[in-house]
A and B are shown apart, each in its own frame.
Chain A
């Protein structure tokens, strides 16, 4: 249920993102999903990759500041109101979303969530029969 996301601290300067993708590419790592949060002087690249441990080692070897963050992946229908329904479950239980990112693919959409309380979030979503994505499935995307 819990997916290992890589969080990489990046200085806000040109070429840095390219270097990350280059390191991962050379190590034979595929990127399943990624998003960037930024402010004026630095950004944080969050990504799901095919082999988190190997990617972590490759990035560390190239002196990137990288760490694992536990996130949850869910699959919900690509229809109006579907995400709202899921978020209602969480809000009702007092669970905050630190951040999330998503992408739609045909009839369904994949959503990566970093909740304030990971275990509780999994419990709630399981009870409500939300389609949780296995980590292994996400890595393979």
Chain B
């Protein structure tokens, strides 16, 4: 099903014309309303007249998370505060939180984008949504909430945590669509099994999972353990929150709502655009935002874009699965390591649970990695050598995928902390 066929399936030439017009208007808007951008453009000897369409986008300055922090809290606001109706903020694990501001129109565009996502998952007025993203400053909860209401579904504003209640309401209310992080969905699957409630008493059929990178293997794991179809919903608070992109029933990429958020892929080192289809850093420019529009915001997410029409009929560009964030990337003994690589190795070996904790350290000036994994309960042996062989199998597989030695520690089931929000999978103890 398609929510807004006129836009989502529009021919690409027309879409480009809309983007040309919107970009030109947006540059003019920020030049006159956001002092930060006016200053940046003046330093580059740019005026709004230099930007006549998307072809000129590479002339524009980049925006980074640091710019958002420097302008904390409301420095990038382009409207009087009286027009702002919602304020969200990132968790701010390092330094100040990142603040984002929405006007009434921004919220309605956001709801429109999430409605496209939920409709693509086959959800509609008859569905009961359980929103298990955290409600609050994090955009996940309220974002998914207003999207689900917008398509006319029934919404349970559950928020994260309280697993027992999650399962009880899911069972008693007949939840059909679950929205949460992929790691929390696996945790719920485990808890449902433990609750002893038979699966056929649940009506759950669809999952909308996002807010952290996940792999194709993890999708299979979720599909199987929860007995549902799991879809990716992509977003970041700086751009809107969930619903910047979404998967359709073909699941061969995440469609981006590029009529509102214009995507580019750049080489994170040279900052030049890459060839079409190549992997690089994803960059977004707001085309319609009023409250806090950003030009060429560097997401740090690494992916590639594909412009061929999708089998679902949508022409909206498709993004590959996020390989990782360029700032999630660990450099271990000079080798780039993404936590998602480790996740896919663990998931392809059926003997392990899909939870892990990687601790990075430094001994005698050499980086070390220690990986804790849980062995599946039915795969334990009471013979030490069988367990040692299993451990060696994982070490060998990791070495061939990462090109690095990882010290593996087998731990007891459920001893690795389960996340109720974004999973914390890596601890870096190196003091550089």
Listed stretches A41-49, A80-88, A100-108, A124-132; interface member: A41-49
CB pair B382–A44 under 8 Å, yes or no, is yes
Q: How far is the CA of A56 from the CA of B377 in the complex (A)?
A: 13
A51 CB–B CB distance under 8 Å: no
Q: How far is the CA of A68 from the CA of B412 in the complex (A)?
A: 17
Residue of B382, B387, B409, B414 touching A67 (CB-CB under 8 A): B382
Instruction: Tell me the nearest residue of chain A to B415, going by C-beta.
Output: A11
Q: For chain A, residues 1 to 29, give those with C-beta under 8 angstroms from any C-beta of chain B.
A: 5, 7, 9-11
Instruction: Tell me the nearest residue of chain A to B409, going by C-beta.
Output: A41
Residues of A near B380 (CB, < 8 A) are 7, 9, 65, 67
Q: For chain B, residues 366 to 403, give those with C-beta under 8 angstroms from any C-beta of chain A.
A: 375, 377, 380, 382-384, 387-388
CB pair A41–B382 under 8 Å, yes or no, is no
CB pair A37–B377 under 8 Å, yes or no, is no
B377, B387, B412, B414 — most chain A CB neighbours (10 Å) = B412
CB pair B412–A65 under 8 Å, yes or no, is yes
Instruction: Tell me the nearest residue of chain A to B378, going by C-beta.
Output: A67
A69 CB–B CB distance under 8 Å: yes
A79 CB–B CB distance under 8 Å: no
CB pair A42–B387 under 8 Å, yes or no, is yes
Instruction: Tell me the nearest residue of chain A to B391, going by C-beta.
Output: A41
Instruction: Tell me the nearest residue of chain A to B414, going by C-beta.
Output: A63
CB pair B411–A11 under 8 Å, yes or no, is yes
A89 CB–B CB distance under 8 Å: no
Residues of A near B377 (CB, < 8 A) are 65, 67
Q: How far is the CA of A45 from the CA of B375 in the complex (A)?
A: 16
Q: How far is the CA of A9 from the CA of B415 in the complex (A)?
A: 12
CB pair A11–B412 under 8 Å, yes or no, is yes
Residues of B near A7 (CB, < 8 A) are 380, 382
B410 CB–A CB distance under 8 Å: yes
CB pair B383–A65 under 8 Å, yes or no, is no
In the complex, how many residues of chain A place their beta carbon closer than 8 angstroms to a beta carbon of chain B?
A: 19
Residues of A near B383 (CB, < 8 A) are 44, 98-99
B247 to chain A, nearest CB (A): 35
A64 CB–B CB distance under 8 Å: yes
Residue of B388, B410, B413 touching A63 (CB-CB under 8 A): B413
A96 to chain B, nearest CB (A): 12
Instruction: Tell me the nearest residue of chain B to A61, going by C-beta.
Output: B194
Interface string of B403-423 (1 = CB under 8 A from A): 000000111111100000000
Q: How far is the CA of A99 from the CA of B414 in the complex (A)?
A: 28
CB pair A42–B410 under 8 Å, yes or no, is yes
Residues of B near A10 (CB, < 8 A) are 412
CB pair A9–B375 under 8 Å, yes or no, is yes
Instruction: Tell me the nearest residue of chain A to B413, going by C-beta.
Output: A65
Instruction: Tell me the nearest residue of chain B to A9, going by C-beta.
Output: B380
A91 CB–B CB distance under 8 Å: no
CB pair B388–A39 under 8 Å, yes or no, is yes
Q: How far is the CA of A46 from the CA of B384 in the complex (A)?
A: 12
CB pair B384–A9 under 8 Å, yes or no, is no
Residue of B384, B409, B411 touching A37 (CB-CB under 8 A): B384
CB pair A46–B411 under 8 Å, yes or no, is no
Residues of A near B413 (CB, < 8 A) are 63, 65
B381 to chain A, nearest CB (A): 8
Q: Given A39-B388, A42-B387, answer yes or no on A64-B382 (Cβ-Cβ < 8 Å).
A: no
CB pair A44–B384 under 8 Å, yes or no, is yes
Q: How far is the CA of A64 from the CA of B375 in the complex (A)?
A: 12
Residues of A near B384 (CB, < 8 A) are 37-39, 44
Interface string of A54-66 (1 = CB under 8 A from B): 0000000001110
Residues of B near A39 (CB, < 8 A) are 384, 388
Q: For chain B, residues 221 to 237, give those with C-beta under 8 angstroms from any C-beta of chain A.
A: none
CB pair B409–A64 under 8 Å, yes or no, is no
Residues of A near B409 (CB, < 8 A) are 41-42
Q: How far is the CA of A44 from the CA of B380 in the complex (A)?
A: 10
Q: How far is the CA of A134 from the CA of B328 in the complex (A)?
A: 59
Q: For chain B, residues 342 to 388, give those with C-beta under 8 angstroms from any C-beta of chain A.
A: 375, 377, 380, 382-384, 387-388
Instruction: Tell me the nearest residue of chain A to B383, going by C-beta.
Output: A98
Residue of B375, B382, B412, B414 touching A69 (CB-CB under 8 A): B382
Q: How far is the CA of A7 from the CA of B384 in the complex (A)?
A: 11
Q: How far is the CA of A99 from the CA of B384 in the complex (A)?
A: 10
A-B contact sample (6 more), CB < 8 A, given A42-B409, A44-B387, A63-B413: A9-B412, A11-B411, A44-B383, A63-B412, A67-B377, A98-B383
- B residues neighboring A (CB under 8 Å): 375, 377, 380, 382-384, 387-388, 409-415
Instruction: Offer 18 A-B interface pairs, CB within 8 angstroms, sorted by A.
Output: A7-B380, A9-B380, A9-B412, A10-B412, A11-B411, A11-B415, A38-B384, A39-B384, A41-B410, A42-B411, A44-B387, A63-B412, A65-B375, A65-B380, A65-B412, A65-B413, A67-B377, A99-B383
- A residues neighboring B (CB under 8 Å): 5, 7, 9-11, 37-39, 41-42, 44, 46, 63-65, 67, 69, 98-99
Closest 6 pairs (CB-CB, A-B): A7-B382, A41-B409, A63-B414, A69-B382, A65-B413, A37-B384
